[in-house]
Structure 1
């Protein structure tokens, strides 16, 4: 039986509704609305969308803040100790 190759183009959606953005981040909607610092884009008629790139940047920043091998982690620890 011959092998067949298919080429399917897929264009991911970049702007997400609030509920989609919460799901993308793996969060409950209420928690997402409370905790997400990414600024939404507001279109006409109160259509709110979140840019996936902004969400990714926020998530990447969260990982840096808890990675003990990162400079950001140790700088934040130093700031915390000296702010008291």
Structure 2
């Protein structure tokens, strides 16, 4: 029997359009517009993109009640 190797490389996107960002956050696009306070980056003209890292910070702040849990903030509380 013949064998085959499949080599697939997937590059994760950091910048997303509005529909992709809404999907990433698990929201419908209409709900994303209302509840997400992350500002998209204007990459020229009408090209707006959401940074995955900004979305992650927003989601984390919603989970923790806006507590600043950065390394610097934790150290300053010690």
TM-score, normalised on structure 2? 0.71
Higher relative contact order (CA 8 A, sep 6+): 2
TM-score, normalised on structure 1? 0.66
* 2:30 alignment partner in structure 1: 30
* 2:57 alignment partner in structure 1: 57
Which ranges in structure 2 are unaligned for 5 or more consecutive residues?
A: 68-78
1:19 to 2:58 alignment: no
Q: Is the radius of gyration larger for structure 1 or structure 2?
A: 1
1:26-63: CA deviation from partner (whole Å, max 9, x where unpaired): 11111101111111001122111000000000101111
Higher helix fraction (1 or 2):
1
